[in-house]
Amino acid sequence: MSFDTTEANRRTAVFDDHDELWLFGYGSLIYKAGFDYIERAPATIEGWVRRYWQGSHDHRGTPHAPGRVVTLVEAPGASCLGMAYRVTPAVFDYLDHREKNGYLRFAQPMTFVDGHTEKGLVYIATPDNAAWLGEAPVEDIAAQVVASTGPSGPNRDYVLNLADALAELDADDAHCQAVAARVRELIVA
């Protein structure tokens, strides 16, 4: 698979025929929307966990020195808290470009705080994508993050902004907390 998933997303056109839809954000989309939305609300998706297992060659790193950003990894029984946005398909051009480094559009159910469920869109970078880095010890992930920077800024800002956003949501995410804690230690050392 190519690094650039823009065309694949356009071809599969998941949700293109909807007037409105819910988009689930679990990474930078929580703290930086960057697009117009009708409303937003915290939501969870079941059976997935957030992991710093995706390479970033275009935002928080470079092709020669990729950073690490989050994707969702299947984990039966787990649930992942994020932010859902009610949007129109007008956002797809922007999102397909922003998420082009390996992320594909998927249709997934999401559950809101009041218990109701909606099938919506989520961008996921799966293990078969060309920018996938995979599992690594927290120490190695944090060291890579601290060493990486890209066109969207230092990788450490992504990690610390996401940690703050997850704390604001009261999300219980041991993996992201551990990576952020180690990044904080490394940058003050």
Positions annotated as catalytic residues are: 99
14-33 positions binding ligand SIN, by CB under 6 A: 25-29
**Nearest-angstrom CA–CA distance, 179 and 184:** 9
DSSP secondary-structure letter at 61? Answer: S
Q: Is 102 in the site for ligand SIN (CB under 6 A)?
A: no
Do residues 103 and 78 lie in contact, with contact meaning Cβ atoms separated by under 8 Å? no
Amino acid (1-letter code) at residue 100: K
If the CB atoms of residues 32 and 184 are measured against ligand SIN, the closer one turns out to be 32
118-137 positions binding ligand SIN, by CB under 6 A: 123
- Least distance from C-beta 189 to ligand SIN, angstroms? 26
> If we measure between CA atoms, which residue out of 90, 126, 132 comes closest to residue 106?
126
In the list 21, 49, 69, 163, the residue contacting ligand SIN (rule: CB under 6 A) is: 69
- Applying CB under 6 A, the site for ligand SIN has a residue count of 9
Q: Is 163 in the site for ligand SIN (CB under 6 A)?
A: no
* Residue with smallest beta-carbon separation from ligand SIN: 27
Contacts of 27 (CB under 8 A, 6+ apart): 50, 69, 70, 71, 158, 162
Do residues 90 and 37 lie in contact, with contact meaning Cβ atoms separated by under 8 Å? no
Q: Which residues bind ligand SIN (CB under 6 A)?
A: 25-29, 69-70, 99, 123
